[in-house]
C-alpha cells in the first residue's frame, strides 16, 4: 500500500478571508494515521458487508474457490493419514530367519525360545524343513518332481514378529543380531513393499503439489475475473473519486479487500466441505480398521494445515484482485 492519503498542505500565504465555520485546514500526522486506519477498517467492513448482503453475485466465486481448495485439501488429508499409517507399518515388518540346512529341529527349538526372550520380539514361529517342503509341495503343484530330489533342499525357517511399537532402526538392529548367529544362514527383512509404499506416497505428494499449484492458478483467474466485473460495474464511481483526488491506493483498496474476503469465505467453505468429507469417510475407515484388528482412526486436517489453507486462500484472493486491479484500473481516468 502507498503512503496514507492525506491533504497536502495549503499555501499559507493565500489571501483568504476567514470563512464562517471554517477551522484550520491542517491535519496532524496522528490524525492522518488514525484516518488511514479508520479508512481501512471502513473499507474492510464495507466490502465484507457488500459480499454478505448480496451473496448471489459472488456465491459462484466462493464455491469455485472452495472446491479448488477442497480437492488438494482432501488429498493432503489422505496422504497425511497414509503416511501416519505407513509409519506404523515400518515397525511391524516381520523377518524370516533362514537356518543352515545342517541345523537339527531340536537345536532350532532351542534357538526359538532364545529369540523369543529377546527385547523387542513379539512372536516367533518355527517352520521346519519338512513342513516347508510339504507347504511348497501343496502350493507349487510340483509334487512328483520334488520326490526325485535326493534330499530336502529347503532350510528350516524361524519367522520373527517384532513388537509393533519398535522403531525401524531397532528392527534392523535385531535382524543384524540374528544374522550374526552361527546357525543362521540369512535373514530377510520384509520391507520391499514398504519402500514401494513410501515411493508411492512421495509421488502422490508431488502430484498434490502440482494439482494444488494448478488449482491456485485457477483461483487467481476466478478472483481476477470477478474483480474485473466488479471494476467494470463501478467505472463511474472510480472516475468521480479520482476526479476529487483519490489516490490509486485509495481506489484499489476496496477491490483488494474484496479479493481477500473472497479467499477467506472460500477457505471457510472449504473447511466445511473437508469436515463433511471427513465425517462421511471416517466411520467406514474405522470399521475397516476394526476388521484388521486395528484401532486406527482417520485423522482430520491438522490445525496447522487448516490455517495454511485459509491464509493461502486469502493470499490467493488478494493476489487475484491485485492482478486484476493492476490490469484494469489504470485505464479508468476521469
Number of residues that bind other proteins (CB under 8 A): 39
141 touches other proteins (CB under 8 A): no
Only one of the segments 13-21, 139-147, 256-264, 287-295 lies at the binding site for other proteins (rule: CB under 8 A); that segment is 13-21
Query: Shortest distance, CB of residue 11 to other proteins, whole angstroms?
Result: 6
CA distances from 273 to 2, 194, 219, 321 (A): 38, 32, 17, 24
Query: Shortest distance, CB of residue 226 to other proteins, whole angstroms?
Result: 19
83 touches other proteins (CB under 8 A): no
CB of 255 within 8 A of CB of 321? yes
312 touches other proteins (CB under 8 A): no
- Of 42, 4, 7, 2, the C-alpha closest to 245 is 7
Query: Shortest distance, CB of residue 38 to other proteins, whole angstroms?
Result: 7
Cβ contacts of 264 within 8 Å, gap of 6 or more:
310, 313, 314, 317
5 touches other proteins (CB under 8 A): yes
CA distances from 145 to 134, 141, 156 (A): 13, 9, 21
Count other Cβ atoms within 10 Å, centred on residue 162: 25
Cell of residue 93, nine digits? 515388518
Only one of the segments 10-18, 202-210, 276-284, 319-327 lies at the binding site for other proteins (rule: CB under 8 A); that segment is 10-18
- Distance between CA 248 and CA 246 in Å, rounded? 7
Only one of the segments 9-17, 189-197, 198-206, 222-230 lies at the binding site for other proteins (rule: CB under 8 A); that segment is 9-17
26 touches other proteins (CB under 8 A): no
- Distance between CA 112 and CA 48 in Å, rounded? 72
| Closer residue to other proteins in complex, CB, 40/100 | 40
Only one of the segments 18-26, 51-59, 113-121, 137-145 lies at the binding site for other proteins (rule: CB under 8 A); that segment is 18-26
Cβ contacts of 186 within 8 Å, gap of 6 or more:
98, 179
29 touches other proteins (CB under 8 A): no
Only one of the segments 27-35, 110-118, 171-179, 319-327 lies at the binding site for other proteins (rule: CB under 8 A); that segment is 27-35
| Closer residue to other proteins in complex, CB, 283/334 | 334
150 touches other proteins (CB under 8 A): no
Residues 200, 243, 288, 311: which binds other proteins (CB under 8 A)?
A: 243
Spell out, one character per residue from 39 to 58, where the chain touches other proteins: x when CB under 8 A holds, - when not: x-------------------
CB of 266 within 8 A of CB of 219? yes
Touching other proteins, residues 260-299 (CB under 8 A): none
14 touches other proteins (CB under 8 A): yes
- Distance between CA 154 and CA 94 in Å, rounded? 20
User: 42: alpha, beta or left, given left = phi > 0 and alpha = psi -120 to 50?
Assistant: alpha
239 touches other proteins (CB under 8 A): yes
| Closer residue to other proteins in complex, CB, 32/137 | 32
The stretches of the chain forming alpha helices (DSSP H) are 29-53, 59-91, 105-116, 129-140, 143-147, 168-179, 192-233, 235-243, 248-291, 303-328
323 touches other proteins (CB under 8 A): no
100 touches other proteins (CB under 8 A): no
38 touches other proteins (CB under 8 A): yes
Task: Provide φ and ψ at 200, rounded to 5°.
Answer: -65, -40
Footprint of other proteins (CB under 8 A): 2, 4-8, 10-11, 14-17, 19, 21-22, 25, 27, 31-32, 34-36, 38-39, 236-237, 239-248, 250, 333-334
Amino acid at each position: 500500500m502507498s503512503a496514507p492519503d492525506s491533504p497536502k498542505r495549503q499555501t499559507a500565504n493565500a489571501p483568504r478571508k476567514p470563512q464562517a465555520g471554517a477551522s484550520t485546514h491542517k491535519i496532524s500526522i496522528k490524525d492522518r494515521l488514525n484516518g488511514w486506519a479508520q479508512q481501512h477498517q471502513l473499507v474492510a467492513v464495507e466490502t465484507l458487508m457488500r459480499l454478505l448482503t448480496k451473496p448471489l453475485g459472488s456465491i459462484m466465486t466462493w464455491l469455485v474457490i472452495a472446491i479448488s481448495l477442497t480437492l488438494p485439501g482432501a488429498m493432503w488429508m489422505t496422504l497425511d493419514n497414509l503416511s501416519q499409517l505407513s509409519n506404523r507399518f515400518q515397525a511391524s515388518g516381520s523377518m524370516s530367519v533362514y537356518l543352515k540346512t545342517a541345523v537339527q529341529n531340536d537345536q532350532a527349538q532351542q534357538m526359538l525360545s532364545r529369540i523369543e526372550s529377546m527385547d523387542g520380539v513379539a512372536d516367533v514361529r518355527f517352520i521346519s524343513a519338512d513342513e516347508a517342503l510339504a507347504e511348497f509341495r501343496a502350493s507349487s503343484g510340483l509334487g512328483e518332481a520334488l520326490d526325485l530330489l535326493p534330499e530336502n533342499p529347503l532350510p528350516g525357517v524361524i519367522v520373527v514378529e517384532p513388537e509393533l511399537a519398535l522403531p525401524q532402526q531397532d528392527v534392523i538392529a535385531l535382524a543384524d543380531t540374528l544374522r550374526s548367529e552361527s546357525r543362521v544362514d540369512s535373514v530377510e527383512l520384509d520391507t520391499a513393499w514398504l519402500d514401494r509404499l513410501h515411493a508411492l506416497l512421495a509421488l502422490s505428494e508431488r502430484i498434490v503439489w502440482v494439482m494444488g499449484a494448478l488449482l491456485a492458478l485457477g483461483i487467481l483467474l476466478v478472483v481476477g475475473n470477478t474483480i474485473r466485473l466488479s471494476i467494470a460495474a463501478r467505472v463511474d464511481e472510480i472516475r468521480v473519486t479520482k476526479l476529487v483526488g483519490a489516490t490509486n491506493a485509495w481506489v484499489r483498496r476496496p477491490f483488494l479487500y474484496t479479493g481477500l474476503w473472497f479467499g477467506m469465505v472460500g477457505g471457510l467453505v472449504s473447511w466445511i466441505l473437508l469436515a463433511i468429507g471427513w465425517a462421511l469417510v471416517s466411520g467406514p475407515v474405522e470399521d475397516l480398521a476394526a476388521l484388521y484388528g486395528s484401532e486406527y482412526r482417520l485423522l482430520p486436517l491438522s490445525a496447522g494445515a487448516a490455517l495454511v489453507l485459509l491464509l493461502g486462500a486469502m493470499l490467493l484472493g488478494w493476489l487475484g484482485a491485485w492482478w486484476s486491479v493492476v490490469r484494469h484500473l489504470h485505464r479508468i481516468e476521469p
